[in-house]
A and B are shown apart, each in its own frame.
Chain A
Amino acid sequence: MVGSCNGFFRALEKKTGTVRWSYDTQQDGAAVQFHTDPLVVEDLVVTGSDGAIAHLYAFERNTGKPRWKYEVTPGVGADVQRIDSNIYAVTLQDELLCLDWKTGALVWKFTTGHPTDPYARSSTPAVQGNRIFFGSLDGAVYALDAHSGEVLWKRALPGRISTSVLLGGGNLYAGTSDRHLYRLDPKSGTVAADFKVEEEPTGRLLFAEDSLVAFFGERKLACVDSSLSAIRWSDTTSGPWSSSRPYLWDHAVIAGNERGEVFAFRLSDGSRLWSQRFDGVIRGVGSSEGTLYVGTLKGKVFAWRAGIH
């Protein structure tokens, strides 16, 4: 699945790159952009979009026909999550929406009331059991009952939430603009660990094998132990990181930068396994069956098999 900045959302054949189907959002009033990883729910592909007239879309996987769409202008820039019959999306206006994934009907909506900041990046929520967690633009992490939308707890943090919130190893993680990483108790919101770092953690976090991986500032990628007591390894790139997140692929952390370089770091020790240069600023990365798919800001998609991985 490939969403591009010219308003198209496409499904490509993994082995050949042939277009299976394509949807032009211009027909909905404006060409929107896609900045989220799509969510596959049974026979549907659900994705957020952002722009002048933005929607949450649910496309039929095999045909690309929209089953439903829900207007979310100015948009959804964070990944959509699912619990049972519902999906959850955080809008650029700091709202948490709960929709029925089969019909797109609104089940409930939670609004923090925080003034909208046009330059703010919304935070991808996390789900566990019957709870959904999200980092608000008001600087707090919320836990809500997924079925009712009732706020279970709210934990205000000193800085703006600058990363996704992420569950891993029974903990809830979040980074803030004042250069802290936090480990929270998902049941109560109690701060279990507060780890000061050198630069602002940004973007979406990655949890794998008892480690938390995050971008720090523009150029550093770091791996922190899950208790948030020490940095296990870090690496600094020659160009600012530009991939939407660090990805995990076969025990390696994959990240791309504005110079078109994609790097693979061994998760256990941070050693560089390989790198590959592509034509353009790296944005989205995906993988399937030993093949890496790399999208660039210029709009090109590359399917590549790492020769020395």
Chain B
Amino acid sequence: MMSSGRMQRSLGVPSLLMVVLLVATAPGHQSPTEAPKPVADSRPLWTYDTGG
């Protein structure tokens, strides 16, 4: 299974990755789950697939 592992460098923005910024919420209150906004570079430095 080790041989099936692969290491890849990300040269573009993977479609499944998205960085988001969410609205700050006052202490003691629950934060609602909100639609994320992309705000920054979302590329991983690297990814590695362990195979499972």
The chain A residues found within 8 Å of chain B, CB to CB, are 2, 4-8, 10, 12, 15-19, 22, 24, 231-238, 260, 263, 266, 268-272, 274-279, 291, 295, 298-308
- Whole-angstrom distance between the alpha carbons of A22 and B52 in the complex? 14
A97 to B16, CA, bound (A): 43
For B44, what are the chain A residues with a Cβ–Cβ distance below 8 Å? 302-304
Could you tell me if A305 and B51 are in contact, using CB atoms closer than 8 angstroms?
Answer: no
Shortest distance in angstroms between B42's beta carbon and chain A's nearest beta carbon? 7
Task: Name 17 interchain pairs, CB-CB below 8 A, sorted by A.
Answer: A5-B52, A8-B50, A17-B48, A19-B5, A24-B1, A235-B25, A263-B22, A271-B26, A274-B21, A275-B19, A276-B19, A276-B42, A279-B17, A298-B52, A300-B47, A301-B49, A308-B21
- Count of chain B residues with a beta carbon within 8 Å of a chain A beta carbon: 36
Task: Using A8-B1, A17-B7, A233-B29 as known contacts, say yes or no to A307 and B19 having CB atoms under 8 A apart.
Answer: yes
Contact A4 B51 (CB under 8 A): yes
Pick the residue among A231, A232, A276, A305 that contacts B17 (CB under 8 A).
Answer: A276
The answer, yes or no, to whether B11 is at the interface (CB within 8 Å) is no
Q: Which of A8, A15, A269, A307 contacts B26 (CB 8 A)?
A: A269
In the complex where A7-B1, A237-B33 touch, is A279 in contact with B51 (Cβ < 8 A)? no
A237 and B34 CA atoms in complex are apart in Å by 10
Among all A-B residue pairs, the 6 with the closest Cβ atoms: A307-B40, A271-B24, A6-B52, A17-B46, A272-B22, A4-B50
| A278 touches which of B17, B26, B31, B39 (Cβ 8 Å) | B17
- Known pairs A233-B25, A269-B25. 19 more at Cβ < 8 A? A8-B51, A10-B50, A15-B45, A17-B47, A18-B7, A22-B2, A235-B25, A268-B27, A272-B31, A274-B19, A275-B36, A279-B17, A299-B49, A301-B48, A301-B50, A303-B44, A303-B47, A306-B19, A306-B40
